[in-house]
Chains A and B, each alone.
Chain A
């Protein structure tokens, strides 16, 4: 019994063959391709919004090279995080835009309740410079009499 308890254990045996990483690497590359596709779709969906976070995932450095399994996993995880962040940011933004669209409808229905409120095309995620602005009819007379209306601008100013 003491012999068993005190027996010295040698170093762990190394595997006689190296593990075949090809299948894992192929799977990771396919996942990276799919995530890149999602990221591209999300980026295109943000157009023409200009102040959205850019979907940057830093390169691994060292130019184009064969990445190790660990680096591929790290890249896949970074891309997945970025896709999730971009999707969340776009979702938040479209929710705000939907609220602004409703606000425009309410402004048109009851302008006197939204005095001086101004909503632009950018606020509803559309290209262009048009905006909806609640203003009094006939300036001070309108303000005194409560004659409010929504003025829709005609678009971007002409280039000079």
Chain B
């Protein structure tokens, strides 16, 4: 696997002023979306076997998941209703009795999120214009074609438009599809999460994709 080139995304001054340690680290890589190989499915099964009810309950006290819970609260989300990505994976594991394989990209993200606790999203690099960063949505903006955004909503944006909601969904015209050839993996950093955790999450996902 080639060396990943990690890029620090920009953060709008108003947002940086409010959340000084908010960051977005991303890396571009080649990808071949499709079904997961057997080794990856096996790895998902082994990951699922490590989860227990007690571990999931106490997860919210681990430093990294806790940091994202606090950030969720501070931006008006109830993390017990709209789960942080790592808690979402854990809950999915408990409800389904395992982690079902979806495709190679989603499986790699699931593994990286579960291993590190850092939320990751994947974007189609060919549908993103300019450098990625974090900013507040402007009134009247939409995510993709139809999804309206409320003013001052936290979004990940390229040079022109929002491409994803922070800790939320990805715009329909920016996400990875079976035709995607180049992908941008993004890791969101908040107060209490060291940069090395973000790098580890990106490396973990990339390493899983190229296994």
Asked if B81 contacts A43 (CB within 8 A), the reply is no
**Contact, CB under 8 Å: B58 / A79:** no
Interface readout for B74-105 with A: 1 if CB under 8 Å, 0 if not? 11111011100000000000000000000000
B-contacting residues, A20-44, CB 8 Å: 22, 25, 29, 32-33, 36-37, 40-41, 43-44
B contacts with A: majority SS: mixed
**CB <8 Å contact, A40 and B69:** yes
Chain B hits for A63, CB < 8 A = 76-77, 149-150, 153-154, 165, 168
> A65–B70 Cα gap in the complex (Å)?
14
Q: Please count how many residues in chain A sit with their CB below 8 Å of the partner chain's CB atoms.
A: 31
Contact of B58 among A22, A33, A47, A55 (CB under 8 A): A47
Does B54 contact A47, Cβ atoms closer than 8 Å? Answer: yes
Residues A64 and B72 in contact in the complex (CB < 8 Å), given A37-B66, A44-B57: yes
- Whether A64 pairs with B154 at a CB distance below 8 angstroms is yes
Is B120 at the interface (CB under 8 A from chain A)?
A: no
Whole-angstrom distance between the Cβ of B94 and the nearest chain A Cβ: 14
CA distance A43 to B166 in the complex (A): 26
A67 interface hit (Cβ, 8 Å): yes
A59 and B57 in contact (CB under 8 A), knowing A64-B153, A66-B15, A66-B136?
no
Measured between beta carbons, the chain B residues less than 8 angstroms from A19 are none
Q: What is the bound-complex CA distance between A47 and B59, given in angstroms?
A: 12
A75 within 8 A of partner (CB): yes
A10 to chain B, nearest CB (A): 34
- In the bound complex, residues from chain A placing their C-beta under 8 Å from that of B81 are 56, 58-59
Number of interface residues of B (CB under 8 A): 35
Query: Which chain B residue lies CB-closest to A76?
Result: B73
Complex CA distance for A151 and B63, rounded to whole angstroms: 44
- Residue among A33, A48, A66, A71 with the highest chain B CB neighbour number at 10 A: A66
Q: Which residues of A contact B15 (CB under 8 A)?
A: 66
**Contact status A64-B165, CB under 8 Å:** yes
Question: Nearest chain A CB to B74's CB is how many angstroms away?
Answer: 5
Q: Within 8 Å of chain B (Cβ to Cβ): is A57?
A: yes
Bound form: Cα–Cα A40–B59 in Å: 9
Closest to B192 in A: A33
Which residues of B (143-199) have their CB < 8 Å from a CB of A? 149-154, 165-168
* Known interface pairs A59-B78, A66-B136; A44-B17 also in contact (CB < 8 Å): no
A32 adjacent to B78 (CB under 8 Å): no
* 10 further contact pairs, Cβ within 8 A, besides A56-B78, A63-B150: A40-B66, A57-B78, A59-B77, A59-B78, A59-B81, A62-B76, A63-B153, A65-B76, A66-B136, A75-B76
Provide 22 A-B residue pairs closer than 8 Å at the C-beta atoms, listed in order of the A residue. A29-B74, A33-B70, A33-B74, A36-B70, A40-B66, A47-B54, A47-B58, A56-B78, A58-B81, A59-B82, A60-B77, A63-B165, A64-B167, A65-B76, A65-B151, A65-B152, A65-B153, A66-B75, A66-B154, A67-B76, A72-B74, A75-B73
Give 6 closest A-B pairs by Cβ, nearest first: A60-B76, A59-B78, A64-B75, A62-B150, A64-B154, A65-B153
